[in-house]
């Protein structure tokens, strides 16, 4: 499974994003594999579209990719705290790593710091 972070999904949904063309080119190709994103990541992605009154457009773009929402597991608090303590990442990025660990997936991202930590944990793409 490919576990997406907010930077990749926002780039896909927001045509004004600096990485939009690259994301729009790569994500449909990746859709041949199962795509997932944590509930926290999806919430991050939907903030700007909700503010702009474009939730339906964002929802349609995410559905077109066939993204599976990956819920936090029952033991998420301790595992997220451990990831946050062991890395320089903020908690939303730790949610991406946790989702990838649980799904035995990889994390392609435009975020260089998240990419480094994903690679360090064996979750790089």
CATH of residue 22's domain is: 3.40.50.1010
In a domain, 20, yes or no: yes
Owning domain of residue 79 = 2-120
Question: What is the pLDDT at residue 14?
Answer: 83
Asked whether residue 39 is domain-assigned, the answer is yes
Residue with tokens 């795509």, as numbered in its chain: 35
**pLDDT 10s per residue in the chain (125 long)?**
999 999 888 888 888 888 888 887 777 666 578 999 999 999 999 999 999 999 999 999 889 889 999 999 999 999 999 999 999 999 999 999 999 999 999 998 889 999 999 999 999 87
Please tell me the distance from the alpha carbon of residue 92 to that of residue 84, in angstroms, as a whole number.
10
Question: Position of tokens 């790089």?
Answer: 124
pLDDT of the residue at 24: 78
Within a domain: 125 = no
SS3 per residue for 82-124? HHHHHCCCCHHHHHHHHHHHHHCCEECCCCHHHHHHHHHCCCE
pLDDT on residue 104: 94
pLDDT of residue 60: 92
User: What total of structural domains would you count in the chain?
Assistant: 1
């Amino acid at each position: 499974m490919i576990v997406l972070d907010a930077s990749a999904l926002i780039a896909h949904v927001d045509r004004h994003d600096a990485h939009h063309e690259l994301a729009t080119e790569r994500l449909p190709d990746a859709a041949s594999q199962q795509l997932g994103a944590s509930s926290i990541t999806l919430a991050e992605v939907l903030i700007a579209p909700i503010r702009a009154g474009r939730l339906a457009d964002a929802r349609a773009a995410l559905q077109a990719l066939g993204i599976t929402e990956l819920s936090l597991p029952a033991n998420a608090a301790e595992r997220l705290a451990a990831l946050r303590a062991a890395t320089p990442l903020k908690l939303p990025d730790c949610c991406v790593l946790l989702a990838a660990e649980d799904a035995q997936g990889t994390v392609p991202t435009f975020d260089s710091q998240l990419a480094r930590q994903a690679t360090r944990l064996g979750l790089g793409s």
